[in-house]
Structure 1
C-alpha cells in the first residue's frame, strides 16, 4: 500500500528498574498456591507408582498379586491421567492463584478440595472398583463407577478454578510495568501508520476515511455523486 513501509518490529529496550518478577505477596494466595502445587506433586508421585505397576503387570508371578487381570492397561490409564490431566490443571491452579487477586476466595478452596477428591477417587478406582479400560479417548478412562464419579468431581473442581480465576484476574490500568511491555511490543504492527493522506484529499461528505488513489468522487446510496471537497489529513 502507498505510504506504508514493511519492516520487522523492534521491541523496546528493557526499562531500567522494571519489575519482571511475579508478585506472590499475600498469605491467602501463597497458601492456595501451595495447595495446588501439592496436588500436582501428588499426581506426579501417583503417576510414578502406576508406571512401576506397568512393569509389575508384565512380570511373571508378580502380576498374580495385582487386583485385575488386565492391569497393564489400567495402570496406563491412571499413569496418563495423573501425569497429564491432573498435572496441567494443578499447575494452572498454581499460577492463577499466585497471579490473581484475593477476590472470590469462597470459590478458591472448594475448587481445590473438589479437584483433589476427584483425583483421589480416580487413583483408588483400580484397587477398589476396577473396570474395563477405554483407550479410545485422548484422556483414557476406566468403565468404573468410582473412576467416572471421580472424573466428574475433577471436572467440577476445574470449572470452579476457572470461574474463580476469571473473577480474580487483576485489572490492567493505563500504566504498564515490565511484565506487560513485551506483550504490547509484540502486538504492535510491523509498519508505521501514515500520518497524512498523500494520495487524495481528505474525507468529504461521501468519502471513506482512508487514503486511496482512486478518483475523488463517491456516490452515496440514494444520492448523486459528490466530490471530496474537504482537504486535510485523513
Structure 2
C-alpha cells in the first residue's frame, strides 16, 4: 500500500479500486449477456450486452489512469481520459435505443432512431472538435481517477442517462405486466437495476463524493449491474428459488 500512497490519496485509491471492479463486472456481465445471441439467435441479447459494457464507459479512464499511476506514477493525459470515457457513448447509446425500439416501439422505430441519432451525433462531433481545439472545454481532471465535466458535457451525459433510465423503466414495467411469471420477475429485477443505476450515475455526476459516500455510491452501481444481469438472464437457480417452472 506504501507504493500506492506515494502517488495517490486514500480516497483516490478507494475510487480507483471501485472503478476497476465496476469495469470488470460491466465487461463480464455485458459479454455474458451478448454471448446469449449465439445460443438463442436473438440480436436483442447482443445489443443489450454491448450497450451495458458501454453504459459504464465513464469508469474506464478512471480504471486505466489508476493502473498507470500505480505502475508508472503518472495518470493518463486529460485528452486521452476524455476520449476513453466518452468516444463510445454515442454509438453504444444508439445501440441501446435500437434494442428498446425493437422491444417496444417498432412502428415508430425509424423516427425515434433518426431523432436520437442526431442527438448523439451532435455530442460525438462536439467531443471530437473540443479534443482538438481545447480539451478544457470538455472538463478537467480533479485527480488521477476523477474528472469534472463542463456544464455542456455534464448536461448532455445526464440527458443520455435519463433517456436510458426512462426507456429501461418502460420496458421493465411492460415485463412486469406480462402473463409469463418469469418475465414478471425479470421486470422487477430490471426495475430495481435501472433505478439503482440512475441513482449511482447521477450521484457520481452531481455530488462531491467523500471517503464515506464514495464506497456507498459505487456499491449501488455494482448492485445495479447484478440486477441488470438477473433481469436479462434470470438463471435457473433464481427461478428455482422463486418456484418458477418454464
TM-score range, shorter chain: 0.3 to 0.5
TM-score by length of 1: 0.36
TM (normalized to structure 2)?
Answer: 0.35
Higher-helix-fraction structure: 2
Identify which of structures 1 and 2 has the higher relative contact order when contacts are C-alpha pairs closer than 8 Å and 6+ apart: 1
